[in-house]
Amino acid sequence: DISYPEDNERTDAVVAELIASQARRTSMEKRFVRRDGSVVWTRMTMAILREGSGPPTHRIVVIEDIDASKQAEERLARITALHLATNQVNEAILRAALPAELLRAACEILVKQGDFDVAAVRLANNESGVLELIATEGTLAKWVRDRESRTGPVRIDAPGLAAEVYRAGRPCVIDDLEKELTLATRTTYTKQAGFASSAGFPLKRRDATIGVLLVASHSKNAFGEDQIVLFEQVADNLSFALEKFEQEADRARAEQALRDSEARFRS
């Protein structure tokens, strides 16, 4: 009843191997489920007692709580992966020729290195009052695109995480979407997508918010303080790159206007 379901088959296999191999002891890492539904990591050591060479008569199990160390280990791994993702996003900034190309690459990197279910970028269209989906990657990216085609872009004045981050101009992290239904938009949306936690980070140009970087996970509490700092850095770097793209576009338009003016003057 308290064993984590996904670990049961592996546990049975370890016990069977211990008995069949005539070994006396083995250990494994295993998860259990607390009364409140949260998961605790343990190290389970099992010893088999036999009478001579006969069949096992007793199995002695010692369960050690290693949840704190396991969480620290996983946190370090996530931070290391996000540091790598930050570097790869910076490399993509140097190589990308178009804003959409950069944003797609950034989403792909964050999903791959950060082990998130989906990453997306929405940019504001102030004329229509919506946050248009520019790029999305991950296992749930198709679900996000399909929902966008059915319901249309997220409105800037609507409830939900993306609009809230855009309006506030600051990051927002939801550790448990089931408890934050005002920002989760709808219970059905959260359950259908399989999201458990989510975070949004503003993209800015000249201190004005122009869009939102969104990341979601099927795990609760997927965003630690160190990770939030790294995501803010990624959002700042993307904002800088988007501003440079806009400056280049302004310069190209000015040069074209000058060429057109000179051509009219010659004519």
Q: Quote the pLDDT of residue 190.
A: 54
Q: How far apart are CA 121 and CA 128, in angstroms?
A: 17
> pLDDT band at residue 136, thresholds of 50, 70 and 90?
very high
Q: How far apart are CA 77 and CA 81, in angstroms?
A: 6
Task: Enter the pTM of the model.
Answer: 0.69
In tens, the pLDDT along 187-237 reads 445 555 677 888 999 999 888 999 999 999 888 778 878 888 888 999 999
SS3 84: helix
Q: Quote the pLDDT of residue 186.
A: 45
Flag whether pLDDT at 100 surpasses 50: yes
| Nearest CA-CA partner of 47 in 39, 57, 37, 38 | 57
Q: Average pLDDT, stretch 10-31? A: 87
Q: Quote the pLDDT of residue 188.
A: 45
Q: Name the strands in the sheet holding 172-174, side by side, starting at the edge strand that comes first in the sequence.
A: 154-155, 130-138, 118-125, 208-217, 197-205, 172-174
Angle between helices 67-95 and 225-266 (to 10 degrees): 10
In a 13 Å sphere around the CA of 147, the CA atoms on its Cβ side amount to 13
